[in-house]
């Protein structure tokens, strides 16, 4: 049986970088697009040569904003991937797009290239909140781009939403969810805002220019979303992800189930052949590496048995189905209870975990305290 893997392709460019973003991405760098794509093509060729016995079940173009590239550059990349990797006929092929970076011609071209899933960064329905976040789009532009995508043939669309935003009210969040679900899209990701160091948002919070929403309102927003989205037919299959039946993100499940994936592009992370590593975060170094894998790879670490078990548990527990006892045994050759019996027992008694004959999973209370639960599954070396 052929081994399967996911491919992540990083496009580190945006029209303008959002104020909360700490991803490796850059605004106003149109002069670098061509050189970057050429370097990425070379990396694709090099990686493809050593992955001939792997079938690719999922391809995900992320960023940054991949749709800032011209359709010609995107087509070059897709052609190179299909020529250099064995991409499954039924592969899920996703591209991220921010509203305002896609017209009808580009949307139609993306469908022809083979993209069958679109992920749009909407974040909020209120233009005042979009402005606060430093987003380049208005909600009207999102609505326009959504209609364009549907007409072009995208039948599987995700939107990213954020809650616990500065000045966001509970009523704002209700309106966002009502308006978004009225569009009958297939998938919704909903994340609480995290203030990351090194971002303009972090500096503003440090100066007291922006105020964080208190945790009680954060949790109220989250619990409302879980209940409301369920009523609208979206099943929560992971802490922050909701989907219509059969529309769960295959690519994200590769991460949560600690299956192999290869990251291509600037700063892209990989879990491949038992190693974790990432490409350089230095854009000039990436462009000048000419696809040289030995130059690109940084911080390559062999994943130990303990590391693998830890990741299997706390990534798997993000999923509402939780972690299967049988799958743990198949992966590691020992029973989960042999390794984590006391932790499981303690959290089950305290109501943070629910246990069945088949699996363990976080309870609603456990989701709210998930970081505490995950930390307990770390093993002493």
Number of domains in the chain: 2
Q: Of how many residues is the chain composed? A: 381
Q: Assess whether 191 and 329 both reside in one domain.
A: no
Long-range CB contacts (within 8 A, 24+) of 307-316: 308/258, 308/332, 309/339, 309/379, 310/377, 310/378, 310/379, 311/258, 312/258, 313/340, 313/374, 313/377, 314/373, 314/374, 314/377, 315/255, 315/256, 315/257, 315/258, 316/256, 316/257, 316/258
DSSP label at residue 357: S
> Is 186 within 8 Å of 247 (Cβ atoms)?
yes
The reply to whether 363 falls in a domain is yes
> What pLDDT, in 10s, does the model give residues 105-119?
999 999 999 999 999
What domain range is 364 assigned to? Answer: 322-376
Q: Which of 224, 256, 288 is the last residue of a domain?
A: 256
Rounded mean pLDDT, 259-263: 96
Give the CATH number for residue 85.
3.20.20.70
| Beta strand 241-243 pairing with 86-97 | unpaired
Q: Which of 256, 275, 297 is the last residue of a domain?
A: 256
Position 79 pLDDT exceeds 60:
yes
Decide: helix, strand or coil at residue 135. coil
Give the CATH number for residue 342.
1.10.10
> What pLDDT, in 10s, does the model give residues 238-259?
999 999 999 999 999 999 999 9
Q: What is the mean pLDDT of the chain?
A: 92
The reply to whether 313 falls in a domain is no
Cut 0.85: pTM above it: yes
The reply to whether 227 falls in a domain is yes
As a 3-state breakdown, the chain gives helix, strand, coil percent values, each rounded to 5, of 45, 25, 30
Which residue, chain included where needed, has tokens 């303008």?
16
The reply to whether 46 falls in a domain is yes
Q: Assess whether 245 and 326 both reside in one domain.
A: no
């Amino acid at each position: 049986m052929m081994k399967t893997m996911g491919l992540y392709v990083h496009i580190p460019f945006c029209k303008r970088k959002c104020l909360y973003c700490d991803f490796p991405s850059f605004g106003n760098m149109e002069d670098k697009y061509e050189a970057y794509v050429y370097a990425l093509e070379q990396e694709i060729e090099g990686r493809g040569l050593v992955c001939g016995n792997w079938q690719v079940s999922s391809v995900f173009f992320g960023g940054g904003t991949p749709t800032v590239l011209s359709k010609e550059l995107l087509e070059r990349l897709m052609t190179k991937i299909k020529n250099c990797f064995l991409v499954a006929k039924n592969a899920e092929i996703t591209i991220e797009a921010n509203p305002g970076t896609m017209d009808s011609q580009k949307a139609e071209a993306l469908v022809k290239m083979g993209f069958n899933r679109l992920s749009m960064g909407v974040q909020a329905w209120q233009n005042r909140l979009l402005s606060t976040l430093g987003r380049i789009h208005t909600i009207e532009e999102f609505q326009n781009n959504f209609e364009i995508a549907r007409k072009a043939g995208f039948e599987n669309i995700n939107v990213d939403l954020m809650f616990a935003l500065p000045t966001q009210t509970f009523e704002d969040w209700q309106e966002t969810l009502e308006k978004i679900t009225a569009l009958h899209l297939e998938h919704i990701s909903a994340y609480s805002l995290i203030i990351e160091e090194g971002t303009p948002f972090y500096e503003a919070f440090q100066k007291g220019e922006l105020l964080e929403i208190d945790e009680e309102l954060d949790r109220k927003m989250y619990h409302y979303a879980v209940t409301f989205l369920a009523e609208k037919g979206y099943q929560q299959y992971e802490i922050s992800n909701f989907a219509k039946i059969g529309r769960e993100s295959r690519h994200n499940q590769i991460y949560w189930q600690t299956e192999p994936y290869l990251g291509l592009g600037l700063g892209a992370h990989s879990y491949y052949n038992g190693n974790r590593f990432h490409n350089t975060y230095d854009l000039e170094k990436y462009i000048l590496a000419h696809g040289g894998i030995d130059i690109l790879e940084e911080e390559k670490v062999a994943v130990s048995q303990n590391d693998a078990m830890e990741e299997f548990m706390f990534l798997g527990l993000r999923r509402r189905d939780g972690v299967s006892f049988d799958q743990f045994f198949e992966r590691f050759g020992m029973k989960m209870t042999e390794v984590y019996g006391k932790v499981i027992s303690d959290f089950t008694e305290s109501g943070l975990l629910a246990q069945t004959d088949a699996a363990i999973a976080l309870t609603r209370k456990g989701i709210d305290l998930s970081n505490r639960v995950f930390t307990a599954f770390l093993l002493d070396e």
